[in-house]
Chains A and B, each alone.
Chain A
Amino acid sequence: MTIKQLSIFLENKTGRINDVTRILGANGINMHAFSMAETTDFGILRLIVSEVEKAVDVLRENSFAVKVTDVVCIKCSNTAGSLASILEKLAVQNIFIEYMYAFADGDFANIVIKPNDLEKCVALLDECNCDMRSEL
């Protein structure tokens, strides 16, 4: 089970993230999670939103370069060692993590992972009964 993530190309420029959040807000699209990867001149904003297709449309209408990527989102207990045990399983099977981001909320935590081999990763997590989410 995978989840759709938006990736947006952004120049490093004051107020550019605001442009994204304002457009999404004005169109009633909620952001559930995001992370920002940056270099000296540009960045990639990665987002999980409530309505993927609509978000892509409104952002493209506003001239943003947007890509949709499949990622894995795991729900695990917000306790010491629970992430370690999952990552250990992936490492043993030689699954490389290109990037990940996570947030905790009460008793649970959500982890978004972009593995190098999505299919293999999903299959493996399925096998170990990990709670993968199709939406946030």
Chain B
Amino acid sequence: MIWNPNKECMSREQMRALQGKRLQKLVNYVYHNVPFYRNKMQEMNISPDDIRTIDDIVKLPFTTKQDLRDNYPYGLQAAPASEIVRVHASSGTTGNPTIVGYTRKDISVWSEVMARCLTAYGVTREDTFSVSYGYGLFTGGLGAHYGVENLGATVIPTSTGGTEKHIKLLRDLKVTGIACTPSYALYLAETLEKMGLSKDDINLRVGAFGAEPWTENMRKEIEERLGLKGYNIYGLSEIMGPGVSYECSEQNGSHINEDHFYPEIINPETLEQLPYGEQGELVFTTLTKEGMPLLRYRTKDLCTLMDDECACGRTSVRMGRIVGRSDDMLIIRGINVFPSQVESVILEMPEFEPQYMLVVDRVGNLDTIEVQVEVRKDYFTDDMGAMLQMKKRLADRLKGIVSIACDVRLMEPGSIERSQGKSKRVIDKRVLK
């Protein structure tokens, strides 16, 4: 099923024409309403008249997370305060949080794109859907909530926490769909099993997982333990929240709602736009946003874009899985290491729980990386030699994938802290002098 075939199945030429028109309008709008963008454009010697087609987007300035912080709280807001009906904020682990204001129309666009996602996952009005993203300043909870309501399914706003009670509701209300982070889905499976229950005791059939990077192996694991089909949902609060892109039944990349969010891939070093198929940093321009529209926002997410036809009938550009972040890429002994690489290795080995922690340190002048993993109860053995072999197997595979030697530390099952929101996977203790 397709929620909005007019937009989701538009011909490429029509889409590009629409994007061009919307970009022109957007540039005019920010030029006259956001001093930050007007100043930047004047510095670069460009005016709104220079933007005629979507290809002219490369002339426009980039926006970074730092720009959002520097203009805290409302510096990048284009709409007057009277038009803003809601504010979300993304967590600011360092410095100011990022504040994003939405107009009534922004909320309506968001509900529309979310309904497109849910429809692609096969969710219908008949479904009962648990939204287990955190409700609050984080966009996940309310974003998904409005989408489910717009679609007409029944929404159960479970938010995060109280997992045993959540499982009771899943059973008693015969909940068929869930939206949460992949790591919470695994925690849910673990709790279910701890309660002596299994996937056969719940009715979940669809999961919308996002807000943190995950792998194919993680998908298999979640699908197996919860008895559902798991779909990727992508979004970021600066651009909108969940619903920027979504997988269809083909599960070959995530369709971008590109009539609202125009994607580009750039080389994060040279900032040049890269052609489809090449890996680089994902950049979005919010074509229709009123509250806080952004030009060429650098997501720091690394992936590729695909524009070949999709068998599902949608014509929109698709993004591949996020392979890492240009900013949480770890540089260890000069080698680029992505936590997702380590994760994929661990998930392939049944002897370990899908929980891990990377501890990076500097001993003398040498960077060290310790990979902490939990041994699955069934795989623990009294044979010390076999335990040491298990440890070596992981170390060897890691070496093969990330190209540097990792110290593996075997942990007791359940000892690594479980997250209910975005999981923290890296502790970097290096103090650079």
Residues of A within 8 A of B (CB): 5, 7, 9-11, 37, 39, 41-42, 44, 46, 60, 63-67, 69, 98-99, 114
Contact = CB atoms under 8 A, between A and B. Distances in A.
Contacts, number: 48
Contact of A63 (B380, B383, B412): B412
13 contacts: A7-B380, A9-B412, A39-B387, A41-B409, A42-B387, A44-B384, A63-B412, A63-B413, A63-B414, A65-B375, A65-B380, A66-B377, A66-B380
Interface of B: 375, 377, 380-384, 387-388, 409-415
A36 to B, nearest CB: 11
A44 B410 contact: no
Given A39-B388, A65-B375, A65-B377, A7 B412 contact: no
Contact of B382 (A7, A11, A41, A63): A7
Nearest to B378: A65
Given A41-B409, A41-B410, A9 B375 contact: yes
A114 to B, nearest CB: 8
Question: Interface SS of chain A: helix, strand, loop or mixed?
Answer: strand
A42 B410 contact: yes
Given A39-B388, A44-B387, A11 B412 contact: yes
Nearest to A6: B382
Contacts of B382: 5, 7, 44, 46, 67, 69, 114
A98 B383 contact: yes
Contacts of B412: 9-11, 42, 63-65
Nearest to B409: A41
A37 B388 CA distance: 12
A119 B190 CA distance: 38
A11 B384 contact: no
Contacts of B384: 37, 39, 44, 99
A42 B375 CA distance: 11
B96 to A, nearest CB: 37
Nearest to B407: A41
A9 B380 contact: yes
Contacts of A66: 377, 380
A65 B353 CA distance: 13
Nearest to A46: B382
A7 B386 CA distance: 14
B88 to A, nearest CB: 37
B395 to A, nearest CB: 12
A38 B381 CA distance: 14
